[in-house]
Structure 1
Amino acid sequence: MAEATAGDRIDPKVMKVAVALIVGSLAVVFDTTIVSVALQTLSQELHVPISTIQWVSTGYLLALGVSIPLAGWAQSRFGGRRVWMFALAVFLVGSVLCSVAWSAGSLIVFRIVEGLGGGLMLPLFSTLIMQAAAGKALGRTMSIVTLPFVVGPIAGPVIGGVLLNWLDWRWLFWVNVPFCVVGFVLAWRMLDPDTTEARPRFDTLGWLLLSPSLVAFLFGLANSSKGGGFGRTDSFAPLLAGALLLLVFALYSVRRSGDALVDVRLLAHRPLASASASMFLSGAALYGSMALLPLYWQQVRGAHALQAGLLVAPLGLGALLSRPLAGGLSDKFGARWVAFTGFAIVGLSTVPFALATDTTNKWLLMAVLVVRGFGLAAVSIPLQAAAFVGLRRDQIPHAGIITRITQQIGGSFGVAVLAVILDIALRHHTGSATQAAHAFDQAFWWAVGFTALALALSLLLPGRTPMEAPKKPETGKAPQTV
């Protein structure tokens, strides 16, 4: 690959911002994936059924839906550094409280506190990075800053398995504390002081429409993984309510223009619209498959939790290998063909799992996971960079919220759909590991289907786009469609 020009190199100031934010964000990313492997243990230790302890995850997700839409307004009102440090402090308090929880009910409440802090941090993370980058070297920048979000879902189950194997479950939450404390100090010392003088009015009606719609979507998708799937009243009713509320919010946001909590008119900007749609499907393919892979190793191959986590770990190796290459190629050739190639690699490397049996060579499947991890990182970098192409500084917070919402719902959608597919298939293939393998094959073919749709959508992403100097912020105008 040709050496980067001066304009394509990452500004040292951007790297300073990235380091400060990455350390803090690791607490959120690892916490989500670590807890996902601990539900069975928490159920046993706290003496409650799985249906109750599941709210440790569901309550966290619903809290994200409440706070994610607030990130843009909060940044405009209080400044990015203040909001980031406040959110990190909330997450820290929630983690400490979770570690001393005395019952399932208290743990669920404290996880909601964590979710409120994490929901502010997730969109703010990409917003602050993109504003610091000012449209330069977006691919190389995203190759660094998206690292936690690619490696986290892979390393989290391994860390969770290790902690549960040798330590008490409370260490699942104590592990967050060093990231929060160091991240807070780094943010205080390395992020630019807040200088905002804006005092935007809070869009109360917009929040009362958008947040409940996200909560309803996430609640309905979480319930669909139970018996009955999407046919359950507590699944389809919230999904329908969420869709109606989201439609009303979209109509309201268009009329309210630049004063809306989230400016949905930005979806007329083709790079953001195509990247958001692709992020939805990539979230479904990534998180849906990540839910299937440990289960395959456990239910079909007889691995315990720690072994399953280690068997999935090659995904992380592949992701690390592709990141520098994908970032440079995105800057050089644009997002379209890098993402297309990445989705093709992900799809092709999922096929062996859709053909796997209970005796397929483990080393072969682990090698395939390295390739799949390579493709996943090659997808995430250009999508994250493309979403912000051509946007003004004041539009970036809105774009950050839109992309975070599409990823969050896409991931929950993928997990829900594949869980329903797997549940139905397992009912028809019972009695042996061989039959269970056939059930997993069907679910993995659906994951291939998600990837194929994303492959087609990636052709709508922008190609190589010369980056201009950031324009002076304007008000009330949507960007021109590219």
Structure 2
Amino acid sequence: MKRSKLALIIIATGLAQFMAGLDNLVVTTALPVIKVHLHANLSSLEWMVNAYTLSFSSLLLTGAGLGKRFGTKKIFLLGIAIFTITSGYAGLSTTSTQLITARAIQGIGGALMVPLSLTILASGVPHERRNFALSIWGAIGGLAIALGPLLGGAVVEGASWQWIFWLNVPVGMILLAIAAISLKSTSEKDAKLDPLGLITATIGLFGVTNALVNGSSHGWISSLVLGSFAFGAIGLAAFITVELKSKSPMVPLSIFRDRGFSAINVASTLMSFGMFGSVFFLAQYFQIVRGLSPLASGVRILPWTAMPLLVVPFMGRIVDRFGAGRIVAIGLALQSGGLAWIASQVSITTSYGSIVMAFVISGIGMAMFFVPTASATLAGVPRELEGVASGVNNTVREVGGVIGIASLGAIFSTSGGYGSAIGFVNGLQSAIIVGAIVVLVGSIASLFIPTSVGRKKKATNDNVELSSMLALQIK
């Protein structure tokens, strides 16, 4: 395979998940400005975030199933088109209702393209270059999470909030062109849809996610939250029953018998819980306690966000040599250590110099997690189930992040809150400590990934050369 062809495949699949992953974080940064411009109340602001989270989380498995039946490229392109069109509609919104509607449909587009991006990448590159390609793909996903506060602040301060959506339009159009030209479609002609599986999985994930995103605002023992949990539990129980009996299950539950697959999904859930929840409050610390602008706050976190760009070019070869499990374990341990460092130092008067190295360590750890995760996710499953495996991993990460923000939010409110600067710091410290502990448990869980997963006897020179070339293109 030509290097230019491989580069296009990685760019197309990586950029798709980058767009979807970045969107929510950028929107969160712009909420104060949107509140004023659209005269939105607190409930509307929450739904501008939650509408995307609900549809995205609920339909990830459905997206993987549709790709398996109708063709990965076709559904992938459909997802990009939906995401791009609704991004333009979101930027044109003049009311909260319009924006919330656009966000919900955006989530549908994201759910169609994100799990299939990994499937297309894994099937579209030669086996000897697979670890390297998956390394770049995973790192791009990590960058989306890390760069959200910085890009959101830059756009809001430099232009207007509408541009956080409008920028997706030209990027999406370019992505459609690249994907249409460079990607190949795979499908199973004899594959059958699993309608009961699709319905029960969607109901279950929707119920659980809806309960989590509404817990803080409505109360954890409110009828809405308890009812949603019950609704979700019934849906997931029905899903498991259906999949066990189905001749053509959407998610063959036998894939969880693979120790590596189960371990990486547990580690992914715990990582998302601890890290997403902690970053949610750290991004606000510089604005609320230190009085910085959104852009200045994003710049302060740049040592965290820049590390993947420096680490990624070497990670493919490192994973080839040492295996995915060890690298994931070390990465999560570094993230846990970085969070613990921040928790021990953060205060109203904390100097930036006292925590900047913690950001660096966390950034290195983040790259070491995201880069080998894709390899570990796909290593133990048959090729025809790679889309399903990707959908499962994306689902647990998304739900883990929602649980993390909700749980650490409750700890934050109990220990302090938004009432004062000292209250915010007290709540932040408690939340980050819990986040660090959860991520450390994820590091321990990743030790159960077999050392052979992702490992090669000998890394090829092609990987090293291609690594340098693609690293320059991404930068």
- Using structure 1 for the length normalisation, give the TM-score: 0.89
- 1:248 match: 238
**Could you tell me which amino acid in structure 2 is paired with residue 150 of structure 1?**
G
Shift of 1:390: 3.2
Q: Which residue of 2 aligns with 1:351?
A: 340
Which residue matches 1:448?
A: 436
* Aligned residue runs from structure 1 range 418-437, under 5 A: 418-426=408-416, 431=420, 433-437=421-425
Q: Name whichever of 47-56 and 73-82 sits farther off.
A: 73-82
Q: Which residue of 2 aligns with 1:265?
A: 254
1:48 maps to which residue?
Answer: 40
1:330-479 residue pairs with structure 2 within 5 A? 330-355=319-344, 356-426=346-416, 431=420, 433-465=421-453
User: Which aligned pairs between 1:7-406 and structure 2 lie closer than 5 A?
Assistant: 13-133=5-125, 135-192=127-184, 194=185, 196=187, 198-226=189-217, 228=219, 230-257=220-247, 259-355=248-344, 356-406=346-396
* DSSP 3-state at the match of 2:217: coil
Cα drift, residue 321 of structure 1: 2.1
SS in 1 for 2:93: coil
In structure 1, what residue type is equivalent to 2:40?
V
For residue 141 of structure 1, report the CA deviation from its aligned partner.
Answer: 2.0
Change (3 A) 1:392 1:291: same
Give distance in 1, aligned partners of 2:302 and 2:313: 19
CA distance in 1, matches of 2:186, 2:398: 31
CA distance in 2, matches of 1:197, 1:21: 21
- Counterparts of 2:369 and 2:31, CA distance in 1: 30
Distance (whole Å) between structure 1 residues aligned to residue 311 and residue 279 of structure 2: 19
**Bigger shift: residues 319-328 or 455-464:** 319-328
Query: Given that residues 261 and 380 in structure 2 are in contact (C-alpha distance below 8 angstroms), is that contact kept between their aligned partners in structure 1?
Result: no
Q: Is residue 39–residue 50 contact of structure 1 (8 Å, CA) maintained in 2? A: no
Output the CA distance in 2 between the equivalents of 1:134 and 1:283.
Answer: 30
1:10/1:334 Cα in 2 relative to 1: closer, same or farther (>3 Å)? farther
Off by >6 Å, runs of 4+ in structure 1: 9-12
> What letter corresponds to residue 204 of structure 2 in structure 1?
S
How far 1:441 sits from its partner (Å)? 1.0
- Distance, in Å, in 1 between the alignment partners of 2:88 and 2:281 is 31
User: Whole-Å Cα distance in 1 between the matches of residues 141 and 226 of structure 2?
Assistant: 29
Q: How much does 1:66 deviate?
A: 3.9
Q: CA deviation at 1:172?
A: 1.4
Q: Is the 8 A contact 1:331 1:464 kept in 2?
A: no
Q: Deviations over 1:81-125 (max 9, x none)?
A: 111111111111111111111211111111112111111111111
CA distance in 2, matches of 1:88, 1:239: 31
- What is the letter of the counterpart of residue 444 of structure 2? A
TM superposition shift of 1:333: 1.2
CA distance in 2, matches of 1:87, 1:124: 10
Offset at 1:399?
A: 0.7
| Counterpart AA for 1:317 | A
Query: How many residues are treated as equivalent by the alignment?
Result: 455
User: Secondary structure of the residue that 1:357 maps to in structure 2?
Assistant: coil
Q: 1:233 to 1:298 in 2, by over 3 A?
A: farther
Find the aligned partners of 1:121 and 1:82 in 2 and give their Cα distance.
10
Distance 1:197 1:264 in 2: 19
Structure 1 residue 198, shift from structure 2 partner: 0.5
Q: Is 1:24–1:179's contact at 8 Å kept on the other side of the alignment?
A: no
**Separation of aligned partners in 2, 1:175 and 1:28:** 13
Instruction: Name the CA shift for 1:142/1:397 in 2 (closer, same or farther; >3 Å).
Output: same
After TM superposition, give the deviation of residue 416 of structure 1 in Å: 1.0
- Aligned partner of residue 370 in structure 2, secondary structure: helix
Change (3 A) 1:134 1:205: farther
Residue identity matched to 1:207:
L
State the identity %.
Answer: 23
Give 5+ residue unaligned stretches, structure 2: 458-475
Instruction: Give the SS at the match of 1:152.
Output: helix
Aligned pair in 2 of structure 1 residues 328, 231: CA closer, same or farther (>3 Å)? Answer: farther
Inter-partner Cα distance in structure 1 for 2:334 and 2:64: 35
Which range moved further: 81-90 or 433-442? 433-442
Q: What is the Cα deviation at residue 181 of structure 1?
A: 0.7
1:159 to 1:334, Cα distance in 2 relative to 1, 3 A = same
Provide the C-alpha distance between the structure 1 equivalents of 2:237 and 2:326, rounded to a whole number of angstroms: 32
TM-score for both structures, normalised by structure 2:
0.90
What residue number does 2:468 align with?
none
Amino acid at match of 1:450: V
The one-character-per-residue Cα deviations of 1:425-478 (angstroms, maximum 9, x if unpaired) are 115x965x344322211111111111121121011012024679xxxxxxxxxx
Please state how far the C-alpha of 1:11 moved relative to its aligned partner.
7.4
Instruction: Tell whether the 8 Å contact from 1:318 to 1:369 is kept in structure 2 after alignment.
Output: no
What is the CA-CA distance between 1:137 and the residue it aligns to? 4.4
Q: Residues 268 and 11 of structure 1: is their aligned pair in 2 closer, same or farther, counting only changes over 3 Å? A: farther
Contact 1:225 1:419 (8 Å CA) reproduced: yes
Deviation at 1:246, TM superposition (A): 1.2
Rounded Cα–Cα distance in structure 1 between residues aligned with 2:351 and 2:261? 41
User: In 1, Cα distance between the equivalents of 2:262 and 2:32?
Assistant: 39
For the aligned residue pairs, the C-alpha RMSD in angstroms reads 2.2
Displacement of 1:197 after TM fit?
6.2
Equivalent residue of 1:301, what SS?
Answer: coil
Report which stretch shifted further, 442-451 or 17-26: 17-26
Q: Note if contact 1:137-1:331 (Cα within 8 Å) is conserved in structure 2.
A: no
Q: Matches of 2:241 and 2:42 in 1, distance apart?
A: 40
CA distance in 2, matches of 1:197, 1:436: 53
How many angstroms apart in 2 are the aligned matches of 1:182 and 1:222? Answer: 33
